[in-house]
Amino acid sequence: MPLRSLSRAMFLGFLRDRMTLFWAVLFPLMFLVLFGGLLTDQGASKIDIAQVGDVAALDRMPAPAREALEQSLEIEKVTDEAGAIQQVRDGDLAAVVVEDGDRLVVHYSQADQVTAARVFATFQGIVDSANLAVTGTEPTYSLASQRVEDESLKTIQYVTPGLLGWAIAMSATFGAAVNLVNWRRTGLLRRLRLAPVPTSSVVLARVGVSLSVALGQTAIFIGLAVGAFGLQLTGAWPLAIVLVLTGTLAFLSIGLLAGSICRTEEGAVGLANFIVLPMAFLSGSFFPLDGAPGWLQGISRLLPLRHLNDGMMDVMVRGQGLEAVWQPMAILLGFAAVCSLVAARLFRWDA
């Protein structure tokens, strides 16, 4: 069958192309290994604090409260107040704490506003607690905190879906764009057009190979994350496969559009990079976008990779089911349809 022969030839061509294998599989895996090794089992970093002399609010703190405090602060007792303050100016310490009569004086730097806010909020809470303890007044309210995720949840579970989405986008976009330009430049497209092979078979073979590569990428990513970094999948994680397939179709169509526009392989690579790399940053593939401004969040929601990443995060990490995949699938398929129609209008058999 022409379809089977074309699919086999395209797949073997993919496996023999070392550069394509590197960019589609090995390069994203390097990021998974890097992020997994650096971020696994790490939360927010501790703040380095210097305590000068005795500070009653800290030294007389109940043991459970002190233990909770030391999860976010690294407190070291020092005697040289001036030297410690200089370390704060130099950025080597976050703050210096000194007791001055009935005042708790905290010297900090505003250079790192996030750390400064954490320091201020922490010591404001310490002072409030100390004041309550001195007055002997029972607090009206108490705080109870409970983590919404499983206690064993690790950072790798947030890293894997985003990097996998980026890998899928890279492979599908680059593969389609570069192959289309290469086939046109070498005259292979013209020969396929003149050969007794239906155009539908050529298209289906290209789609089938891209979907097969995406499934292979998914297996490698999940296998490495589970085996090497302790990724724990929720019960609905197989739904991620459906999202991977629809995401591949979306980015395959974007690659076909790029390949239809460009005349050289270098141009196709540049255009694919211009599309995929900024999209990865704006879609949360490398870091979360929770603190991004509203206008940036709005732009992010217009990108197909954002919906692929969010959908895989929902079913792989957050334990959601079918309700979490319908909207991302519809958006990704919509992108695939629109980009395919535009690519078909711009498509040329000859250079």
pLDDT in tens, 167-176: 999 999 988 8
The predicted pLDDT at position 151 comes to: 43
Q: Which of 112-116, 247-251, 311-315 has the lowest mean pLDDT?
A: 112-116
Cα–Cα distance measured from residue 166 to residue 172, given in angstroms and rounded to the nearest whole number: 10
Q: Name the 3-class secondary structure at 190.
A: helix
Do residue 34 and residue 121 come from a single domain? Answer: no
The predicted pLDDT at position 2 comes to: 66
Do residue 78 and residue 31 come from a single domain? Answer: no
Q: Which of 20-29, 206-215, 228-237, 318-327 has the lowest mean pLDDT?
A: 20-29
CATH code at position 115? 3.40.190.10
The predicted pLDDT at position 36 comes to: 67
The predicted pLDDT at position 205 comes to: 84
The predicted pLDDT at position 195 comes to: 77
For residue 286, give the nearest of 296, 295, 277 by alpha carbon. Answer: 277
Contact assessment for residue 150 and residue 144, using Cβ atoms and an 8 Å cutoff: no
Give the sign of the dihedral formed by CA 133, CA 134, CA 138, CA 143: negative
| Residue 11 domain flag | no
- From the CB of residue 192, how many other CB atoms can be counted at a distance below 10 Å? 16
Query: Mind listing the pLDDT tens digit for each residue in 99-119?
Result: 888 788 888 887 777 778 888
332: pLDDT strictly greater than 70? yes
Among the candidates 108, 135, 162, a domain finishes at 135
Q: In Å, what is the CA distance from 39 to each residue of 42, 116, 140?
A: 5, 23, 39
| Residue 267 domain flag | yes
Q: Name the pLDDT band for 38 (thresholds 50, 70, 90).
A: low
Do residue 178 and residue 323 come from a single domain? Answer: yes
Helices (H) and strands (E) in the chain, counts: 15, 4
Cα–Cα distance measured from residue 334 to residue 246, given in angstroms and rounded to the nearest whole number: 10
Contact assessment for residue 339 and residue 254, using Cβ atoms and an 8 Å cutoff: yes
91: pLDDT strictly greater than 90? no
The predicted pLDDT at position 40 comes to: 52
Calculate what percentage of the chain has a pLDDT beyond 70.
86
Cα–Cα distance measured from residue 31 to residue 164, given in angstroms and rounded to the nearest whole number: 10
157: pLDDT strictly greater than 60? yes
The predicted pLDDT at position 167 comes to: 92
Contact assessment for residue 58 and residue 41, using Cβ atoms and an 8 Å cutoff: no
Q: Mean of the pLDDT values across residues 267-273? A: 87
CA count, 13 A, side-chain hemisphere, 134:
10
Do residue 209 and residue 321 come from a single domain? Answer: yes
Q: Mean of the pLDDT values across residues 331-339? A: 96
| Residue 30 domain flag | yes
| Residue 252 domain flag | yes
Cα–Cα distance measured from residue 315 to residue 251, given in angstroms and rounded to the nearest whole number: 21
Do residue 258 and residue 294 come from a single domain? Answer: yes
Residue that has been written with the tokens 């789609």 in this structure: 207
The predicted pLDDT at position 23 comes to: 65
Find the domain containing 315 and state its range: 17-40+154-346
Do residue 75 and residue 166 come from a single domain? Answer: no
